[in-house]
Structure 1
Amino acid sequence: MGRRNIEQNSTLSNRLILFVACFASCGVVYALLSAVLTGNRIRNSSVSEFGTLVERGGNGLGSKSDGGCCRGIENLELWGSAVKWGSEFKFNSSEECCNACKSMCTGKDGPCLCDTWVFCGNRQACGSKFGECWLKKQKDTLAPERQEGVPPGEIVGWTSGLIFGKGEGIIGLDTEYGTLHIKLLPDCAPHSVAYILELLSLNHCAGCQFYRAESRGQSWDSEGNHVENAGFGPPYALIQGILEAQGTPFNKLPVEDCPLLRRGSVAWIGPGPEFFISLADHSEWKHEYTVFGSVLPEDLNIAEKIATLPTIPDVWNNVNVSVLEKPVPLLLRRIQKSHLD
């Protein structure tokens, strides 16, 4: 950045004006550079640098732990058949309401008795309903019913969340090499899962594809464990793509739960819609990425197959990467429960 020269015989007033102008110019340049750096999409960056170079949208509610999740979406009222009436069932927090719904899932018998929780946590909007926790059951967990026709400006006091039991909440990413079955995590990343369900309802995903593929190389073993004293790439042990239907507006997703990445983790890059599937455990990336799903173990061989397809070298932000010679198109689709029984 150039500096402005100040003549010795300038008056104090002129010096002050020039100083302020210079300071303001520096601030503008700094802001522009920061915007460029943080606004770079994944094609201009390496995965190991996503957390510092890509703007992360949202409200700062993302977790940095590997523990359990119980999150919902504020200002949303999901409907469904009530299995527990909130007028007689109250809690102090949405997390307690969520856990009450989770307690109705044994994890062994398939679908949960409760798959939707709705908590009234806005004291002003809820009034006498403050603290009510309604536990509900959807007809279709991949297309949950919600309150429609809310007048503009009206505050919805409810916070709602989904719980997917065994065999539920699984979508398919169809490719020419097979279908990747992905278990969605609505209790950890509710906004992300809501976006995926919107994509699913479009019945197409024009523009969705994998465009980068890198094997585990010599840095990770077949189970995804990092080899002692080995580097961390390149290659970076991932396949990367985009989940955005052409012609459909995309809004940046908030930072949600950011556990350590494991083999099979499906995570956003920054605020999306670029994403990647990890082919190894990546503890070196710390808690940088919202994980919204996990590939079923039996399908990881498909991701490994894509990682071995022909690539061409490229350089993103001074980091060597491998880009697919021919991108692999993706199609989102519903998975019938019988497929997983």
Structure 2
Amino acid sequence: MIGVLSMMLMVVVHRKANCQDPLVTNISDLRGLLTTLQTWEAQHADHPAQAGLRRVATELETVLVAQSTSPPPPVAVPAAASSTAEAERASLRSLAVGGTQCFVAQNAEFWGEPVVWGPDHHTHDAAECCAACRAHQLAAARGGLDAGPNSTACNTWVFCGDKDRCGPHYRECWLKHQQPIPPPDVRAASSGSNGKSMWTSGVVYDNDAVWIQQYDGRSTLTLHFEMGDVVVKLLPDLAPASVRELRRMAALLALEGTGCDGCKLYRSEVNFLVQGVIRHPGAYVATPRRPNPPQKKMMERGLACWAGGMGGPDWFVNLIDQSGFGDDHLCWGKIDDMSLLDAIVKLPTKPKAKPNEMTFLAKELRFNMTLS
């Protein structure tokens, strides 16, 4: 397979190198291809086709060098990221989606034992500083620091990104260690600046268990719509893994403060159900349908369950007592006050081509979630 692929790539690269107009318009794509080829070459050093991969990579490298005098096309920057603050927020969000929660506190300088000193350690923005702290943790876990895996690793970072206010400290990234590390909602207590500092600080936790533990006892999930609130009593006895992930997602939303990107209701069926989806970057509530404790065979009015016999992220609220679903659906919450759901069923819906088609709301209803 590798040999055939190397021959095909050789033909493509050869044609690129010998065409009348040698300008390669997708330089960045070819550079990515070169990186992939070099990775394959290293991974398959003993494969008979390894020499072919090397020839393809060499010729591709030659093409790229020949075009190096032509700058690559400019990268389109979204208008929302034009300011430094918006660009930094986007970077921090990317880290969150990648699994590194930074728990940022603006205008605060966190205390702690310095493990990397800022004057000798500069980063482009706060997100990069947060990533540096996480990289320091991983280096310690691999035994890459002087004292090995048990050495002091970064769990707190401090960055100065305001050029006018920071002066000589501009772009300094301090990596620090706090013991004990504070939970997210009280992390500002470790700051001595009362919210007026020129610094931006954050905490990076080793794993979710450290910061999610404080939410374990919270049993109410409130869905906030423009029309009002829906209060859901969580049912960990029926769906322990789903309740855990919903708690984690609500905690993440509270820390981000941006609202849920993909939480909405989109379907309503009179005397049946209201259906929607719970989805947000960096938080994935879908859990396996089984194994889980046996579900209620008589599905009560007000039960919130995952749709389609699956484990999410699509979900529904049952509007009537019925036994038709049996044990098929994993239910994770119970709504006692159904007045808002009853009002939603009466909202306008989209026309249907056939009577037996699903009924979709004319306007989807978005919501945010909080724990209590």
TM-score (norm 1): 0.41
Rg larger for: 2
TM-score, with structure 2 as normaliser: 0.38
More helix by share: 2
| More RCO (CA 8 Å, sep 6+) | 1
